[in-house]
Structure 1
């Protein structure tokens, strides 16, 4: 866990140096790691850890006096993260209730611009993992439950490091093939 956190921190520093974004990302990394490990081992995401992350990120944004428009962008990300994951959880039961707050935290830090990308990338990465499970077991078992927060964390880290717009790339691929 420590090595992973250090490597991600170094990569973030190399990309952003010391900026508001990098400070926010540095403070998010322990939450990503801790919540993912707890979910992996126990299948629980505790609200106190998610709410603590949101509070710490709010303090960072307020103390750095980021412009109102940017602050609004982060809060829109929080709302998108919570509402979209809540709908997915209630309509499809594909997510656990703990994932709702965790998506909110990740989308809050990344802002509204990357909120949908977090969802898209986390489901893509989880699908790839599912394919590996199927290939390894040589059968499809729909009752296998996979902890989802590690994939949300991985998607968030990939977006932090690349600032990649997955949805834009996807639609560009579709339009280029038509």
Structure 2
């Protein structure tokens, strides 16, 4: 496909377009978040109130705007609708805007336009249910290999898959043998394998590092405020998703800075 015509569109305008379409995609993300953990179809039936099951009218299904106009309540039963719904729509829209602003109207943007909503879905599902569904991670590994081959080459993509998934599998086995319990879910292992396939081996190591640091800081903050303790289960998916986003937008800069500092020290 020839993207030369779209290259003339200014990045700020592309960001606006990405934001608008991202709102619509975010609305679909909410459907996936609500139904995937229950193993329900994301296509049928049509969207409905989670409380009274009344089908949502088209005018009440406009991302963010309908939520504000209805005061966050169902038109039919008046029950409060979770603010997570508009938050998911807004975050997805912002991520789409950022993707098209940074990468333009390219195949790279198309790849990340698929990845960003997936990361939002993973984050919310893992927070609410402490799982990352196989329906996301297993196709994600295949998608990661195909997209990663385009972005970084097949060898780098394959090594990234093996390094990411293999390292997490090794750590999970060691933890199980030492503690006699699962310290890392299978969803996390499959996720990092998919992320490694997409980003390559160097970037997936950055994702693991950033995910571990952010998770540790969150845990330390939770223990400081006495909302968590050493036995508290903290879903790792959201931190890996955040680290993946950082790596996509700033990974090359971070790795470049790290390598330059290593050269200076030597």
Q: How high is the TM-score relative to the length of structure 1?
A: 0.82
Aligned position for 2:249: 161
Q: Residues of 2 paired with 1:122 and 1:72: CA distance?
A: 24
CA deviation after TM superposition for structure 1 residue 61, in Å = 5.9
> Which residue of 118, 121, 126 maps to 1:31?
118
**Partner SS, residue 153 of structure 2:** helix
**Quick check: 1:74–1:110 contact (8 Å CA) kept in 2?**
yes
**Residue in 2 aligned with 1:45?**
132
TM-aligned CA distance change 1:114 to 1:59, over 3 Å: closer
For the pair shown, the structure with the greater C-alpha radius of gyration is: 2
Taking the aligned partners of 2:156 and 2:130, their CA distance within structure 1 comes to: 31
Of Structure 1 and Structure 2, the greater helix share is in 1
5+ residue gaps, structure 2, are 1-87, 176-181
Deviation at 1:20, TM superposition (A): 3.1
Is contact 1:120-1:167 (8 Å) kept? no
In structure 2, the partner of 1:75 is 158
* Residues paired across the two proteins, number: 171
Q: From 146, 150, 161, give the equivalent of 2:238.
A: 150
1:3 to 70, 80, 90: 90
Q: Does residue 128 of structure 1 match 2:217?
A: yes
Distance 1:46 1:77 in 2: 21
**Alignment CA distance shift 1:117-1:27 (3 Å):** same
SS of residue matched to 2:132:
coil
1:85 maps to 168
Q: Quick one: distance in 1 between partners of 2:235 and 2:257?
A: 27
Partner of 2:4: none
Q: Does structure 1 conserve the Cα–Cα contact (< 8 Å) formed by 2:148 and 2:157?
A: no
Task: Tell me which of the two structures has the higher relative contact order, counting C-alpha pairs closer than 8 angstroms and 6 or more residues apart.
Answer: 1
Q: State whether residues 126 and 235 of structure 2, in contact with CA within 8 Å, keep that contact through their aligned partners in structure 1.
A: yes
Does structure 2 retain, via aligned residues, the 8 Å contact 1:121–1:166?
A: no
Give the Cα–Cα distance (whole angstroms) in 1 for the partners of residues 207 and 95 of structure 2: 17
Distance between the aligned counterparts of 2:223 and 2:255, measured in 1? Answer: 25
Greater shift, 44-53 or 78-87, is seen at: 44-53
Aligned to 2:205: 116
- Whole-angstrom CA distance in 2 between matches of 1:168 and 1:87: 29
Whether the aligned pair in 2 keeps the contact of 1:117 and 1:167 (CA below 8 Å) is no
Distance 1:13 1:142, change over 3 A: same
The equivalent residue for 1:141 is 229
